Amino acid sequence: MSRLYLSENGNVVPTLCEELTVYRRARKVLDLPPTADPGTLYVLACPYASSDLPLRLAVNGSEVQAIRPDAAPIYRWYDVLVASSLLRPGANTFEFWTDSTAMNAWSLAVEAGHAESQSFISDDGGRSWRNEQMGYLNVLRGEYVVRVRLAEGEDPTPPAMVWEDTANPRLESLQQIVPKQALQAGPLLARIRPLMDWICLSWEYRNRHGAAQYAPWDAETILAWGQAASGHNGQLPIVACLHYAVTMVSCCQAVGIPARSAIITPALDTGDGHFVTEVWFDEYGKWVMVDPNMDAIVWKDGVPLSITDIQRAGSDLSELIEWGPGSESQRTNPAISEWVERAYLRGACFRHRSIWPRADFLSHPELTPPGHGSLAFCETSLVWEKSDLQRGFGMFPYFADSVYFDAPPRLDG
C-alpha cells in the first residue's frame, strides 16, 4: 500500500503558471507522516526548448539531484526519489529554481484559487516569500502542482459517479437543438448515431496549435465557439476531443441516455491521449465506447465494444471500427490522420483508461477542469485502473478495479 499526499486538484491553466529563475524561486509545503522508506516527489513542470539548464530543487533545505530538461517544451510529470532521511513528520518544504536570470528556462504548474495557500514565491533568491500575487504575472493565489507518494497510508476510495440534475433547465435547452432522431423512441443505437454525427460535424477540431482560449465544458458554448471559431476575448478557441466528448455526454443526458466521459492514452506524458464518451446499453449490459470526435464505434461479431473489450481486441482495430460521416471530415486534418494510423487503429491509445466521475457539467461548471488536454494528465478527479498505480501513474490518488468501471449507472443517486 501507499498514499499520495497533495494539496491541489490539478486544475491548471497552462498560460498562467510560474516562471522560475535564480532569483524567482518557488516553495511548496506539504504535511507528511513519519516514513522509513524513500518517497517519490512528483513535479508538473515545463522546460524551455531554448534552454538546457536543469530544474534545481531542495528538500527541507538540502539540495537533491536536479531535473534535466527533455526535448519537448510541454508541461509533463517529473519524478524524483527522495531519501527518507530528508523527510520529516509534519511540514516539509520543497523549493525550486533555475540558474537563469531571465524567465526562459523552466515553468512550474500552479492551480489558482486557494485562499490559504501553502505555496510561496520569492523574488529575491529566497530571502523573502509571499503566498499571494503568484504566477508569472503576479495575479494568482494558488498551489504548485507538486505531490509526494509515501509507503505510509492508503489512497482514498474512488468517488461515486455524479449525474446531471434532471431538473436543470440547460437540459431542456439542449433538447431544442439536438437532432430529432435522438429524441424519438426506438433502438438506442438509432438515437446515438445521429447525435454523434451531428456533434462531429458541428465544428473544426482545434487544439493548442494556433488556438489560445480553452472552451469551458459547456455544450452550447462549445458549439457556439466552435462554429464561430471565436471565443473568449475574440480569440480562436481550443475545441478538441474532450469538447466533443463532454458535449455528447450532456446531450445524451438531455434526451435521457446515461453517458459519461472516459480518457484513453498509450502513456502518461504523450500527445496521443484521447477523450471519448461511454454510453450505457441495457441491451448488452455494459458501457459502450462512442467517439463523437472521430464519429466512430468499435464492433466485433455484431456487438458494440466497451473500452475493456477494445483493450482485449488486440493491436489491429482497422476492421472493427464503424466510421460515421463525420470521420472523413476530421481526417482531412493531417495531424489527426497521422494519429489515427499511429495510435487509434493499432489500439495503442486504449492501453490506459480512466473515467471522469462527474457528468454534471451544466449544474456544476466550477468542478470542471480549465485546461485538460493542454498539458499532461494531472487532474486528481480522474479514476485510473488499479494496475496503473504500478505503471507510472502514482501522481494520482484514485484507482479502481473492473467492478467500478463496469457498474451500471445509478441515476437515482
Other CB atoms within 10 A of residue 75 CB: 22
Sign of CA dihedral 12, 15, 18, 22: positive
Residue 127 has pLDDT above 90, yes or no: yes
Closest CA to 214 of 396, 365, 47, 6: 365
Average pLDDT over residues 101-112: 98
- Indicate the number of domains in the chain: 2
Q: What is the pLDDT of residues 244-289, one digit of tens each?
A: 999 999 999 999 999 999 999 999 888 899 999 999 999 999 999 9
As a whole number, the mean pLDDT across the chain is 96
| Shared domain check, 179 and 119 | no
As a residue count, the chain comes to: 413
- Res 36 pLDDT > 70: yes
pLDDT grade for 209, boundaries at 50, 70 and 90:
confident
CA distance 310 to 308: 5
CB-neighbour burial class of residue 37 (10 A; exposed 0-12, middle 13-18, buried 19+): exposed
Dist. CA 331–CA 205, nearest whole Å: 10
Q: Look at residue 317 and tell me if it is in a domain.
A: yes
- The per-residue pLDDT for range 220-238, each reduced to its tens digit, is 999 999 999 999 999 999 9
Residues 193, 187: Cα–Cα separation, whole Å: 11
Q: Say whether both 146 and 183 belong to one domain.
A: no
Least confident of 201-215, 309-323, 358-372: 201-215
Nearest to 35 by CA among 85, 107, 101, 71: 85
pLDDT at 333 over 90: yes
* CA distances in angstroms from 329 to 82, 223, 332, listed in the order given: 49, 17, 6
Say if residue 74 is in the same domain as residue 195.
no
Taking Cα atoms as reference points, which of 356, 357, 359, 355 lies closest to residue 165?
A: 359
Same domain, 219 and 103: no
pLDDT in tens, 47-93: 999 999 999 999 999 999 999 998 788 999 999 999 999 999 999 99
Clarify whether residues 239 and 365 are in a common domain. yes
Using a 10 angstrom Cβ sphere, with 0-12 exposed, 13-18 middle and 19 or more buried, the burial of residue 280 is buried
155 in a structural domain: no
pLDDT of residue 319: 96
Q: Is 194 part of a structural domain of the chain?
A: yes
Nearest to 145 by CA among 28, 55, 67: 28
pLDDT given for residue 384 in this prediction: 98
Predicted confidence (pLDDT) at residue 411 exceeds the cutoff of 80: no
SS3 263: strand
Contact 178, 195 (CB under 8 A): yes
Tell whether 413 is covered by a domain. Answer: no
Domain that holds residue 333: 169-406
Residue 193 C-alpha cell reads as 448515431
Q: Does residue 141 share a domain with residue 59?
A: yes
Read off the C-alpha cell for 92. 516539509
Percent of the chain with pLDDT over 90: 94
Say if 160 falls within a structural domain: no
Run of H or E including 174: helix 169-175
Asked if the model's pLDDT at residue 162 lies above 90, the reply is yes
In single-letter form, the type of residue at position 339 comes to W
Handedness of CA 150, 45, 247, 296 (dihedral sign): negative
Judge whether residue 374 has pLDDT over 60. Answer: yes
- Decide if 320 is inside a domain: yes
Closest by CA to 106, choosing from 14, 18, 16, is: 18
Reported as a single tens digit per residue, the pLDDT across 291-301 is 999 999 999 99
Based on the domain organization, do 114 and 258 belong to the same domain? no
Strands 106-108 and 18-20, bridge-based pairing: antiparallel
CA gap 348, 108 in Å, rounded? 29
CATH number at residue 43: 2.60.120.1200
Neighbours of 61 (CB within 10 A): 8
Dihedral angle of Cα 148, 153, 159, 160, to the nearest 10 degrees: 160
Who's near 125: CB < 8 A, 6+ residues apart? 22, 23, 25, 97
**Tell me, what DSSP letter sits at residue 340?**
I
Q: Do 131 and 174 reside in the same domain of the chain?
A: no
Cα angle value 390/273/3 (rounded, 5°): 30
Q: What pLDDT was estimated at residue 412?
A: 59
Answer whether residue 156 is part of any domain.
no
Do 117 and 194 reside in the same domain of the chain? no
Query: Do 93 and 197 fall into the same domain?
Result: no
- Answer whether residue 163 is part of any domain: no
Q: What is the dihedral of CA 161, 165, 166, 171, to 10 degrees?
A: -110
pLDDT at 191 over 60: yes
* Angle of CA points 348, 241, 317, to nearest 5°: 30
User: 66 and 18: one domain?
Assistant: yes
Statement to judge: residues 239 and 338 lie in one domain: yes
